[in-house]
Amino acid sequence: MTISSSLNASVAGLAANASRLATISDNIANSATHGYRRVKTDFHSMVISSQGGTYSAGGVRTTNQRMIDQGGALISTANATDLAVRGRGFLPVARSLDVAIANGDATMLLATTGSFRTDAEGFLTTESGLVLMGWPALPDGSIPSFARDTSDGLEPVQINVNQFSGEPTTRLALGVNLPATATEAGADGAPQDLSVEYFDNLGRSESLQFQFDPMIPADGTSNSWILTIRDTATGDTEIGKYHLTFENDRASGGTLKSVNTLSGGTYDPEHGKLILNVAGGPMEIDIGKPGDSTGMTQLSDNFAPVSIQKDGSAVGNMTSVEVDETGNVYAFFDTGISRRIFQVPLVDLPNPNGLVAQDKQTYLPSPDSGTYFLWDAGDGPTGDVVSYALEESATDVAQELTRMIQTQRAYSSNAKVIQTVDEMLQETTNIIR
């Protein structure tokens, strides 16, 4: 019984070391696979209770575990949509076949890195057929509120490379200096005109016409102007008229003193803004607060548009797409504007090593991994998203070769034990002769 148990234990040792060699060969074979997580083999002894002073060998068994929580180093690339997770968390992806079939929601898989590029349909897809998933943004770039414990809100990230985009002008800051000498008695009273371009809701170019008429007193200086604003989108219709008065004291001379509304939207002195209704809707015009030298001023004898700032843009073509560290996907246009079109969350679970490994370096949640939660990248326990980067394989070839030598020696030793047992059994047979 003892001799046969030795034989069985050595056979188990051969099988255990063969299993370890299989994991080592898999790790070495994937030493250049981006995002690969190595597999390790653990040995566990099997003990058979001894009776009558004899010992029976129980042998050994093995368990294999993929070390999903141990990632590789990040390397830089030249592709803006090469993505890698730095720290904890996984990118949500789906198989391109599931997306193409569109039979309900595609199954969410998890990956730590991927080289994504647009396919024929505009989906960000890897060469292995994985599509990046994310939450779509609204037309204004905001992300709606989605449930974080389910993948129901995720959609394939699709880029329309032929997309046009324009943004209407909704805010304008008017920094203009009016000549102080123009409101003195005896001045010629010539108006000062200024045209400022803006973009309507369809990306068309329109203009606001600002006309500053000085108020000429019989003597002295009035420091007052009448501002008339017209909109070319409605045939130069007057949309606002205001009485501007400027300070002339030593402390705050030349700054706005008061603004009286004659027609159009009222002036808000707390914020220094007018709200005008242009053809496409309301527009906020910042002319400065009373006593503020950064808005409109009346100094010297020169009319000068010192600073005119506005939002909005003409219609432009999409030129590129990038993903920032928080997982936001931005489309960039040749007009210089950018727009958020998707947000890619990071998926976190209590036990990453409990995930079920799939091919193409992807994983599925399981009861052992725990329930998942979708975080904004950089929030909670998750790391951030790195673009222009890929994650290298977690395999250390030198360590794997060392383990292979150890495995080979252990396998040879178990084979030697089998040979020895065979010789002992042969000797036992010879005794019978």
pLDDT digits (tens, 9 = 90+) for 337-366: 788 999 999 999 999 999 999 999 999 999
Least confident span in 65-79, 157-171, 218-232, 374-388: 157-171
Contacts with 316 (C-beta within 8 Å, 6 or more apart), sequence order: 164, 165, 166, 333, 334, 335, 336, 337
Ordered domains of the chain (ranges, CATH): 2-70+394-432 (no CATH), 78-164+328-391 (no CATH), 169-311 (2.60.98.20)
Which helix (H) or strand (E) is 259 found in, with range? Answer: strand 256-263
Greatest alpha-carbon span in the chain: 145
With H, G, I as helix, E, B as strand and everything else as coil, classify residue 45. strand
pLDDT band at residue 46 using 50, 70 and 90 as cut-offs: confident
Count Cβ atoms within 10 A of the Cβ of residue 100 and give its class: 0-12 exposed, 13-18 middle, 19 or more buried.
middle
3 state DSSP class of 426 = helix
What does residue 261 show for φ and ψ, rounded to 5 degrees? -85, 125
Q: What is the mean pLDDT of residues 324-341?
A: 88
The DSSP secondary-structure symbol of 138 reads: P
Tokens (6 digits) for 282: 């309301």
State the Cα–Cα distance between residues 355 and 366, nearest whole angstrom. 6
Of residues 211 and 58, more confidence is placed in 211
For position 433, what pLDDT does the model report? 61
Distance between CA 281 and CA 325 in Å, rounded?
35
pTM of the model: 0.72
How many other C-beta atoms lie within 10 A of the C-beta of residue 182?
Answer: 23
Phi/psi at 421 (5° precision): -60, -40
